[in-house]
Chains A and B, each alone.
Chain A
């Protein structure tokens, strides 16, 4: 009888294997040996496309990279806060203004936390926002062109880290300061930090139609470090939660001095209340100086506006707007579950996770169960707001994401693992190692009201021996886990680009159908664009020369230019006349002190060249555009500064 049973089992197993071969979507459950192999789960066959987009911050690359899940293939690097010679972003005349700040042109930043726009707490795929950490800025990226459209500088902030998280209808993108600083900035002794420095939490409104950002108000908080944040959702919509550390207000050797208090705080901010206060004329307008850079898709051009004023709000002037929730061990990640009930403080110096309850918090506020105050802000009693503690057995919890099925996934930096636990019962159901020292984790939609689940991506800080060695400096590693089953299953391990901190993901069908293929030439309003090659011309205004040039497979119009002189400032305005998907043309001029241009179909970009030597100097197309790409080239004759040669231009003469 026993033997018989085994036979039946093996037949069932064989059948399961046969049927699972046809299932290449990687969604089947992952317990037991009857399932398809890990390789099969992440395998996306040639010609097939991924199920999800994943947007990973570039960290110190300043950019945002776009990947596919489950394949781990990289599709694009979107330049955001850093110059990008590949496309000419930050080098072309049109995009240089994108990197303007109150400190002048800042060609780099440290990008951390991408967040996709939401409607009713669900990802809507209009835009993705990301913060520049070093010179505080928030960027908005279009999810139809996958290009950066807007960057706003955040004044009175330093180390823009608890950013760029959005409220559930994208009312605000929120930017909190990591460093407290003197507000306004002034010359003072660093040792006078305590009680003098302030931490600003900026609520930046997002225009629902165009996405344009504007700082609605800055909340001036006590001089703690505001580490991470997340919005309330569902019933807690209208609140925003920020983890703090250094409530000790140490100004030196924070490693030790900011780790003394057993508990720091999660700051709960009722932004709806403050919004009402501000709409009724509350707050104080103070002088400021910050850049607002907007790229216009129709002119293909960015402009900078310097803003001179910002509205600040003193939290004590808005009673009931801010409370502190004591949270143990210098909490790092601040995550809110899909229902909006649980606020998770990932106490990075402990083994446990502290989970606060929104309902408890409201009850404690209503019952005035305070445990003193900090700078006039009420501190709620820890025991009264606590929902539970996850006894994980790991060490160094940093960040938590959700699968929408009642589970939470927390990363543990020190013990280098992902721990899956249940919301409500706080029981640990699974744990899997990461390689190594994981920071953030990302589940598509995992910080929204409607997570999509499917996969979790662990973004690690240490790579060591995971890949072939390439010297001391290497890319960071990431791992993909199939989370469709009860147990997580590691299915892929791949290097990323830069240092991804947080990431955001969404189903492919949310973005793929509306991804732009070309820019329409008939909608190109660039002042130096030409609509047909017949309009190509060269004009001179003093020593400034403007070349109106067009490209189409496989020539530049014009391709012979004479009458340029040493000392001229030559602007090549290049309009790509292609209206065919994936036919960019490039442009590079010998000896130019800038990058190439990569011009998309229907787009105009401008490159400056200041010739210093007499001669006949070539330029060419840098993108292998066609079979005659190598023929796509031209010459500029440069004459001495005092020459009388008239400007002339031609093609095919």
Chain B
């Protein structure tokens, strides 16, 4: 059980990587952008991959009438996400410590994992909804108003995960180090559950 508790604590600690490293990254490459423009999405805001990328993405987006990228103050998510992640990390560490001193058992690990998974899915849903809003809620006076072959207005929503062609741009959307650390941390808490379960079985 001690081993499982330590895994639980490490797993929870890995969430804190999100305070340092970006959760997600969207890159936009085009023939005239051999070095793609990119934005790193942190839990508390969006930063350019290179210093002026946000300004340059906004500059390009104005042609299709897209809103400028949000500042931290523009979206509630950027103030709420750090609280949620911080709380979940703290909660995970507390559960790990309690389990270490045998106050709670391994089922708490699974409980924490399920809550975190639900929060993660909600987060992805929210992220997708934000991208849908940015990609489709365009200025009616946009300089370029493009339509799909069926006559509907073209959407510029980047993919939630993977690659999509948006006009001359290739958009790539993938997790970044903070996101990978979170995934690894969550995986460790799940492993902690199974390790804890087995050690209990062995103890019986």
**Taking beta carbons and an 8 Å cutoff, which residues of A are in contact with B?**
518, 552-553, 578-581, 627-628
Contacts and interface: CB of A to CB of B under 8 A. Distances in A.
B52 A579 contact: yes
Contacts of B52: 518, 579-580
Contacts of B117: none
B35 to A, nearest CB: 8
B169 to A, nearest CB: 13
Interface of B: 35, 51-52, 55-56, 59, 63, 143-144
Contacts of A627: 63, 144
Contacts of B51: 579
Which 4 pairs across A and B sit closest by C-beta, in order of nearness?
A579-B52, A580-B56, A579-B55, A553-B59
Contacts, number: 17
Given A579-B52, A580-B52, A552 B143 contact: no
Contacts of B55: 579-580
Given A579-B56, A580-B52, A580-B55, 11 more contacts: A552-B59, A553-B59, A578-B59, A579-B51, A579-B52, A579-B55, A580-B56, A580-B59, A627-B63, A627-B144, A628-B63
A579 B55 CA distance: 8
Q: Which of B52, B55, B56 has the most CB of A within 10 A?
A: B52
Nearest to A580: B56
Contacts of A552: 59
Nearest to B55: A579
17 contacts: A518-B52, A552-B59, A553-B59, A578-B59, A579-B51, A579-B52, A579-B55, A579-B56, A580-B52, A580-B55, A580-B56, A580-B59, A581-B35, A627-B63, A627-B144, A628-B63, A628-B143
A580 B55 CA distance: 9
A577 to B, nearest CB: 9
Contacts of A579: 51-52, 55-56
A518 B56 CA distance: 13
Nearest to B57: A580
A581 B51 CA distance: 12
Contacts of A628: 63, 143
A627 B51 CA distance: 24
Nearest to A552: B59
A539 B35 CA distance: 41
A6 to B, nearest CB: 50
Nearest to B52: A579
Contacts of A580: 52, 55-56, 59
A581 B52 CA distance: 10
Nearest to B60: A553
Nearest to B144: A627
Contacts of A578: 59
